[in-house]
Structure 1
Amino acid sequence: MRSTLPCRLTALAPGPAATVETRLQRPDDFVDLAEFARQDKKRHVHIDIRYATCNNFIGRPVAGYKANKCLLTQAAARAAIQVIDRLSPFGLTLRFLDAYRPQRAVEDFIAWMNKPDEDEMKAAFYPDIDKRHLIRDGYLAARSSHSRGSAMDVVIAPIIGAAGQDLDFGTPYDYFGPESHPSYPALTAQQKANRLLLRTLMVQAGFRSIETEWWHFQLAEEPYPATYFDFPIE
């Protein structure tokens, strides 16, 4: 689903060269998840890549996100499909909010962090956080696991239903604060159960979670553990 929020489009200057090992070409084993998931059977997969829209903590499309596509390594895609197949009998599926992230998008995040006047999304995404400290506090990173192609941000959603009718996880996606930590205690029983369900299914499929974001998972045995890619999503 595309955001209906007002969108401030800004011309993005090329960022500085990445200080990590990067590759500019898309490897053959990177797949479009929506297409890959339907190769052998009809599966319902929801793709809502927020950084290709204005509905994100910056408030505009992020550098390198030129299409609403979920790109992943085949290994990560196969593992995610295991979760989708386990949810399907219950009328549920995964909604993918981010997957492969170009290195230029990471650099765009860092450039935005250093622009204190660009804070129109603060109330919605980081009301109690100084955005200059997002890396220090563990919410952003100069080297993102997403850029290796085997990490994803997901929620559980009904297969059929209005857009946005995801299970209740207690906070919105990309909400920066302790409320988004998977173990945050001040949640309802249902919110805790939904977080536990998502985490259990993803871990059983071979993913690792992190302690700052309930929605983030990365493949434990990823094929490119030391490589960061920078081809655009288009």
Structure 2
Amino acid sequence: MTRLTTAARSLALATAALLAFAAATPAGAQQEPRAPRDFVALRSVDPTIIQEMRYPYEHNFTGGPVDGYDQPLCVLTRPAARALHRAQTKLLRQGYSLKVYDCYRPQRAVDNFVRWADDPQALAMKAEFYPRVDKSRLFTDGYIAEKSGHSRGSTMDLTLVKLPALPTRPYHPGQPLAPCYAPKAQRFPDNSIDMGTGFDCFDTLAHTDDPRIEGVQRTNRDFLRSSLTAVGFVNLPEEWWHFTYQPEVFPDRYFDFPVAWRSVAGHH
């Protein structure tokens, strides 16, 4: 009788743990300690692509490291990484390199963004990333959402750098901030070519085909887009830096393994 009661109690505890796990995991998200074998570290496919991962550090719209980014690493599905390699091979011959800011994004990072957006007091980076947008409108205007295509593994944020690449000056928390749409000489000194705004600029000027973007800035955006569409990527019209490889390996699944070498160790 005691043995049966103990077994029943263990079953009840296990059931409760499963229910708690399900409640904490958004519908459709696959919470795993490691990535499926379809994921690779971009560096193992193409070590020449520059990686300036923003979310493990303070220089992003939240002002701090984001949940789930255990290491500054670009992780992607294998077909997306190989397509970037094909684009990079051609760009290197033209004197340019791709530079990625963000790749696969865990669901826990997206949840971090949602919590940040719901906090009206968290305004430390407003002067750079969303100077003209009231934070209460970030959901309504589509800048923040509870799901992200990044969590499916075939979407990345990236730009172009003219070679030889100059180093990007480190960001120091608390330093004076300039609007992400200011002239390039006034913006944070990114080493990329001038796209008209910085990365993660919550402003309509970041729309890829915004008519106010002209001249060299227009040429640069078109160059980035044509270089990537030639190998199978599709641009998000609201963000010049945002591209998704098609067809996606996981069009309907959202993952939550951490961004870390251990997540993709042994995947080639």
TM-score norm. by structure 1 comes to 0.88
Aligned match of 2:249: 223
Whether 1:148 aligns to 2:152 is: yes
Match of 1:127, as an amino acid?
A: P
CA distance in 2: counterparts of 1:178 and 1:99, whole angstroms? 22
Aligned match of 2:192: 166
Aligned match of 1:3: none
Q: Is the 8 A contact 1:155 1:215 kept in 2?
A: yes
Residue by residue over 1:115-137, the C-alpha shift from the partner in whole angstroms, topping out at 9 and shown as x without a partner, is 11110100100001122322221
CA distance in 1: counterparts of 2:83 and 2:139, whole angstroms? 29
Cα distance, 1:159 vs. partner?
3.7
CA distance in 2: counterparts of 1:92 and 1:108, whole angstroms? 34
Higher share of residues assigned helix: 2
Whether 1:26 aligns to 2:35 is: yes
Residue by residue over 1:186-212, the C-alpha shift from the partner in whole angstroms, topping out at 9 and shown as x without a partner, is 223100000011111111111111121
1:73 pairs, out of 46, 65, 77, with: 77
Cα distance, 1:220 vs. partner?
1.8
CA distance in 1: counterparts of 2:216 and 2:57, whole angstroms? 30
1:52 pairs, out of 31, 53, 56, with: 56
CA distance in 2: counterparts of 1:214 and 1:194, whole angstroms? 10
Aligned match of 2:174: none
CA distance in 1: counterparts of 2:252 and 2:160, whole angstroms? 29
Aligned match of 1:37: 46
Q: Is the 8 A contact 1:139 1:212 kept in 2?
A: no
Q: Is the 8 A contact 1:49 1:70 kept in 2?
A: yes
CA distance in 2: counterparts of 1:101 and 1:75, whole angstroms? 17
CA distance in 2: counterparts of 1:211 and 1:168, whole angstroms? 18
Match of 2:27, as an amino acid?
A: V
Counterparts of 1:60-99 in structure 2, within 5 Å, are 60-99=64-103
SS state at 2:142 partner: coil
Aligned match of 2:258: 232
Cα distance, 1:60 vs. partner?
0.5
Q: Is the 8 A contact 2:117 2:144 kept in 1?
A: no
Rg larger in structure: 2
CA distance in 1: counterparts of 2:107 and 2:138, whole angstroms? 17
Whether 1:192 aligns to 2:192 is: no
Match of 1:37, as an amino acid?
A: D
Match of 2:26, as an amino acid?
A: T
Aligned match of 2:139: 135
Match of 1:66, as an amino acid?
A: D
Q: What count of residue pairs does the alignment treat as equivalent?
A: 215
Whether 1:182 aligns to 2:189 is: no
Q: Is the 8 A contact 1:37 1:81 kept in 2?
A: yes
SS state at 2:128 partner: helix
SS state at 2:76 partner: strand
Cα distance, 1:184 vs. partner?
1.1
Cα distance, 1:175 vs. partner?
0.5
Instruction: In structure 1, list runs of 5 or more residues that go unmatched.
Output: 1-15, 39-43
CA distance in 2: counterparts of 1:139 and 1:211, whole angstroms? 13
Structure 1 runs, 4 residues or longer, greater than 6 Å off: none
**Percent identity of equivalent pairs:** 39
CA distance in 1: counterparts of 2:163 and 2:196, whole angstroms? 20
Q: Is the 8 A contact 1:135 1:142 kept in 2?
A: no
Whether 1:17 aligns to 2:27 is: no
Match of 1:120, as an amino acid?
A: A
Instruction: In structure 2, list runs of 5 or more residues that go unmatched.
Output: 1-22, 168-189, 261-268
Q: Is the 8 A contact 2:104 2:151 kept in 1?
A: yes
SS state at 2:160 partner: strand
Aligned match of 2:265: none
